Amino acid sequence: MARIFGKDYGKRDLMKFVGDISQVAGMKKYELSEGKGRGIRAVDVWTGTGLYFTVSLDRAMDISWASYCGKSLCWRSSTGDVHPHFFESEGLGWLRSFFGGLLTTCGLTYAGAPCQDQGEKLGLHGRISHTPAEKVSLDERWEGNDYLLSVKGLMRESVVFGENITLRRSIRTRLGESRFWIHDVVENQGFRKSPLMIIYHINAGFPVVAKGSRLISPTLEIIPRDEEGEKGKEDYHKFTSPISYFEEKVYYHKMKEDSSGLVHCALVNENLEEGGFGFYVKYKKEQLPQFIEWKMMGEGDYVVGMEPANCLVEGRDKQREKGTLKFLEPGEKKEFDLEMGVLAGKEAIEEFKKLISVNKVRIKSFKP
């Protein structure tokens, strides 16, 4: 049964009201036709509750746009949608095609700051988000009284004499849901051990982010990434109006998982007239042991990143030096699961808060 418009509907009952199911839920595949985004394949998904999101097939099947009942969930950067042909891999060139969106995937063999690792020059945040999907399939079907929607595809990061890593991604939801699920399988299809770095760069924007918005999370401890993060670190979870020439602040969180190994975190704006609005992220700490907060209160660049990851963001060379760099052996697979959903109204936000049991956060200082 699907609950939409305040009522539960089974398949036969609902279909009496519509000529085609797309009137309430569905998917639409298309191609962008203008500017730097020209040629990008995309899929719009809607679920009948007001949740609407776009899967960018030529950008690692990332979520380039998401909204709920007309209100944006994510931040969109000034670059807009950019075709992967424009990717600049060196230094900070990645930022020239960083559309933001609800999800940008960073990795797979390197992520974080530009660096030089074992003689190899690496740019910001890796190549995977600029990799088009292949083997793409869309599926819509009734299963009993549930109407299921899914998008699946394969991305490959490979080079002759080097890594051969694939990412199989499945994004699924169903009629009546204000949430969706991502299931990723990363596999080393090559014959040599390969680094594995992955960051789920989840970008919340206005009106989720506004003066008085805050991060709700089971944080046990935070550590600023650098000296800039030291400034105002006690307010790591509080957000302001846009500030001119704001310098980004980054915090590393040590999260407490629940009894089933899950971490729940959310960003909410409880000052909206509707009683509050935001969204949550749920993930398995065993799969993604790190959590990075990107606090960027700049004018235009006004965004908060919630970033479950298996690494930090100083660069691959630093991870290797510290002995924390993860690897995939030949033939090895790693799975990653996330759930993302809307928190609309005071009741939903209060219910979410009950999942968070941490009362006091240890706030540490940056140490070079």
Determine, yes or no, domain membership for 242. Answer: yes
Which pLDDT belongs to residue 88?
97
Which pLDDT belongs to residue 178?
98
Q: What's the CA gap between 264 and 252, in Å, rounded? A: 16
Cβ atoms 42, 311 nearer than 8 A: no
Helix, strand or coil, per DSSP, at residue 231:
coil
Determine, yes or no, domain membership for 9. Answer: yes
Determine, yes or no, domain membership for 69. Answer: yes
Determine, yes or no, domain membership for 339. Answer: yes
- Domain containing 27 equals 2-363
Chain-centre distance of CA 201, in angstroms?
5
* Residue spans of alpha helices (H) in the chain: 11-15, 227-230, 316-322, 346-353
Domain count, the chain: 1
Which pLDDT belongs to residue 291?
98
Which pLDDT belongs to residue 49?
98
CATH number assigned to the domain comprising residue 193: 2.70.98.10
Which pLDDT belongs to residue 358?
80
Cβ atoms 276, 246 nearer than 8 A: no
DSSP conformation letters of 30-91? EE--SGGGTT-EEEEEE-SSSEEEEEETTTTTEEEEEEETTEE-B-B-TT-S--GGG---ST
pLDDT of the chain, 368 residues: tens digit per residue: 899 999 999 999 999 999 999 999 999 999 999 999 999 999 999 999 999 999 999 999 999 999 999 999 999 999 999 999 999 999 999 999 999 999 999 999 999 999 999 999 999 999 999 999 999 999 999 999 999 999 999 999 999 999 999 999 999 999 999 999 999 999 999 999 999 999 999 999 999 999 999 999 999 999 999 999 999 999 999 999 999 999 999 999 999 999 999 999 999 999 987 889 999 999 999 999 999 999 999 999 999 999 999 999 999 999 999 999 999 999 999 999 999 999 999 999 999 999 998 879 999 999 87
φ, ψ for residue 11 (rounded to 5)? -60, -55
Determine, yes or no, domain membership for 118. Answer: yes
Determine, yes or no, domain membership for 368. Answer: no
Which pLDDT belongs to residue 367?
85
